[in-house]
């Protein structure tokens, strides 16, 4: 099992960004997330579905993790990465932790989520995992400018 390269991460984040814009066109909040296996196989890619479902927990990361578990017919994802257009909020970080995802990669930092008027509860993903009993590897800044634009051009109304 080879670690994904920076080029892999950029390619996967591009797909996530495209999904985020698809969500915006469908009237959803500007967030998207994907699950890939550590071998690089795509599993799921979802946009935020809070508006569509009326369920406040349907963040993109939750949608991607739930669907990945459905598809893989298990409730842990130790062999997967979570790729998110923005820094996961505490709820999404918790679900990533509960499903034992070993690596989380995101684009826009929490500060930009706040700038676009979406809430983060003031607890970043790094702080969450620092406090949690988890060895997950967290990496931000992949296509950060493009991911930030997805948020800043579609602020909360
Ligand atoms: Zn979230």
Q: Which residues have their alpha-adjacent CB atom under 5 A from ion ligand 1?
A: 59, 89, 91-92
The Å distance, Cα 1 to ligand 1 centre, comes to 29
Whole-prediction pTM = 0.96
Note the Cα 94 to chain centre separation in Å: 12
Q: In a structure prediction context, what are the per-residue pLDDT tens digits for the chain, which is 157 residues long?
A: 568 999 999 999 999 999 999 999 999 999 999 999 999 999 999 999 999 999 999 999 999 999 999 999 999 999 999 999 999 999 999 999 999 999 999 999 999 999 999 988 988 899 999 998 888 999 999 999 999 999 999 999 8
Distance in Å, CA 59 to ligand 1 centroid: 5
User: 86 pairs with which residues across the strands?
Assistant: 108
103-108 and 137-139 as β-strands: parallel, antiparallel, unpaired?
parallel
- CA dist 47 and 36 (Å) reads 15
Would you name the residues annotated as active-site residues? 61
- Ligand 1: distance of its center to the CA of 119 in Å? 9
């Amino acid at each position: 099992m080879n670690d994904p390269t920076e080029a892999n991460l950029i390619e996967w984040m591009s797909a996530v960004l495209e999904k985020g814009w698809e969500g915006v066109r469908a009237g959803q909040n500007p967030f998207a997330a994907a699950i890939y296996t550590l071998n690089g196989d795509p599993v799921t890619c979802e946009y935020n579905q809070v508006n569509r479902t009326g369920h406040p927990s349907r963040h993109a990361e939750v949608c991607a993790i739930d669907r990945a578990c459905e598809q893989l017919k298990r409730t842990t994802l130790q062999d997967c990465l979570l790729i998110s257009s923005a820094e996961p909020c505490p709820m999404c970080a918790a679900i990533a932790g509960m499903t034992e995802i070993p690596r989380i990669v995101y684009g826009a930092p929490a500060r930009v989520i706040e700038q676009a008027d979406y809430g983060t509860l003031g607890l970043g993903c790094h702080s969450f995992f620092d406090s949690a009993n988890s060895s997950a590897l967290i990496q931000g800044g992949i296509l950060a400018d493009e991911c930030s634009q997805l948020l800043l051009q579609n602020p909360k109304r």
